[in-house]
Amino acid sequence: MVSVMSEIAEQRKKILKEIIKRLHEGASPEEVKEKFKHVLEGTSQEDIAKVEQELVKEGMPREEVRRLCDVHLAVFSEQLEKRKLQVPLEHPVGILMEEHKIMLQLAEKLNTIAEKVYGAEDASSVSNDLPHIEHISNDFTDSEKHYLREENVLFPLLEKHGITEPPAIMWMEHDKIRAVKKQLRGLVEKRGTMNFQDFKEQLHETAKTLGEFLSSHFFKENNILFPAAMQVVTSEEWEEAKKEFSEIGYCCFTPPTATVLTQPKEMGKAKAEGLLQFETGALSKEELEAILNTLPVDITFVDANDQVRYYSEGGKRVFVRTKAVIGRKVQLCHPQKSIHIVNRILESFKSGKKDVAEFWIQMAGRLIHIRYFAVRDKNRKYLGTIEVTQDITDIKKIEGERRLLDWKD
């Protein structure tokens, strides 16, 4: 019986692949829906996710799959509507879905204001509406925590269960949404110096684009990605995910009822047994961990197989890290557009050609220094790569001297 069911599942998957390939070749959704109606009736969200994943593995570019996802959904939408996901509000997926609703409301409100501004002759006639644009933009800026929770907690969980391509495609869409949010923020900041005609036209286009992006993206996540996650992620993993959601933080508009976290069971503090012996001394596990967390830098270690093995937990991390990232391929921790650079750095380290790669970026008015170091043993064998990130804004301001004898308590 099991083998028969497995064979039926494989046959269904083959037909689903044929459906998507036909859509990519230009077949209309109506034509495909009619021909494959009997198959579509039994289609699950996990089926769609896995088929799209296999197509990418077979050579179909991720961008092509992402671009035509809306066409896929036009075909599968009837079946997906019959399987609407119902989860408690305090569940990680429930939190994300509730935030989707609120962001769509914000986008709708922004569109309404943008339409009014677009029809205005001058700024004075809509002066009461313009401040609302800034408030909405602030909320969208704060929504970054929503995407960070998905990328650093949910996506690694899906990857752990073999669903890798759909999260990668969703991350590509996150970056596109971020770009439009940045455009909106730029308009808000330049409003006082811009020609009103230019401002209203750009606002109208940006609001429309953002609304369309969010509506399409959230539909895919709510109807394919999240249901697939609910099928494969265990209850224990969801409990851990909730804790990691709280570590990253919530949006200013996340409903308070969604963020209620059950108190963890009281756990006794384990005593460190023995010391870790080094050539230059010995430390307990507790001491070593405290030292690494006290360093004024963020550290992440990726092993020789490109898997994240460790990160430090200093008080103010520059970039978000959660325990869900442990064991994850480092390539999956970066947006699609930069993976080729990550691979080039790793290859140069593995070959021995390079030992260091460094970069610096401006982020929220701070200067961030990012360095990658090849980690090697005494025989120069490659053991992995360590990433060291540091906010050097204040260090850059240092002048003159302040000696030990100058210190005051």
If phi > 0 it is left, if psi is from -120 to 50 it is alpha, else beta; for residue 306 that is left
Domain extents for the chain? 2-82, 92-259, 289-397
Same fold, 92-259 and 289-397: no
pTM for the model stands at 0.69
59-84 burial string, b = 16+ CB within 10 Å, else e?
A: ebebeebbebbebbbbbbbebbeeee
How many Å separate Cα 130 from the centre of its chain? 31
Cβ-based neighbour number of residue 179 at 10 Å: 12
In CATH, the number for domain 289-397 is: 3.30.450.20
pLDDT tens-digit series, residues 241-270: 999 999 899 999 998 888 765 444 433 333
- The correct CATH number of 92-259 out of 1.10.3720.10, 2.120.10.30, 1.20.120.520, 3.40.50.300 is 1.20.120.520
pLDDT for residue 86: 87
**What pLDDT is attached to residue 257?**
80
**Which ranges of the chain have pLDDT less than 50?**
1-6, 8, 262-272
